Structure 1
Amino acid sequence: MTKRYLKEHNVSFEERNINQDPEYLDLLKQQGFKSVPVVMNSVSDPIVGFRPDSLKDLVG
């Protein structure tokens, strides 16, 4: 749902798939995340899970 939301709102992103590249899962665990998706950007704090209320801040 998060990826779909970003695509529908023309927000560019780089996907790092934990199933295809398990090292990303280790990286997320090291940073304290316990669930996915995690959206990281330079503008705000990471967004964990499908949070359209938070994702709307990336649209623009």
Structure 2
Amino acid sequence: MNNVIVYSKNNCMQCKMTKRYLKEHNVSFEERNINQDPQYLDTLKQQGFKSVPVVMNSISDPIVGFRPDSLKALVG
């Protein structure tokens, strides 16, 4: 099973579009909102990320931003 994690924040259009894309393609994911739990922001900063959304999974490199071309790899 592919474990997909989406790091997002409130009022982020790219985050909303990424989550909608995953839902429409029946890709289950865990959302980690940096506004609701600031420890996730620290986690992203430690890994060198400066923006959201960040989609992490076990089959490919992290996907930053709304990238439907890259998200296709998660659809299966």
Pair in the same fold by TM > 0.5: yes
Q: TM-score, normalised by structure 1?
A: 0.98
Structure (1/2) with the larger strand percentage? 2
For residues 18 and 7 of structure 1, the distance between their equivalents in structure 2, rounded to whole angstroms, comes to: 20
Post-superposition Cα deviations, 1:1-60, rounded to whole Å, max 9, x if no partner, equal 000000000000000000100110010000000100000000000000000000001001
Partner-residue secondary structure (3-state), 1:16: strand
Q: Larger RCO: Structure 1 or Structure 2 (Cα < 8 Å, ≥ 6 residues apart)?
A: 2
Spell out structure 1 runs of 4+ moving beyond 6 A: none
RMSD between aligned residues: 0.4
Count of aligned pairs between the two proteins: 60
User: Which blocks of at least 5 consecutive residues in structure 2 are unaligned?
Assistant: 1-16
Tell me the percent identity: 93
Q: Distance in 1 between matches of 2:24 and 2:41?
A: 26
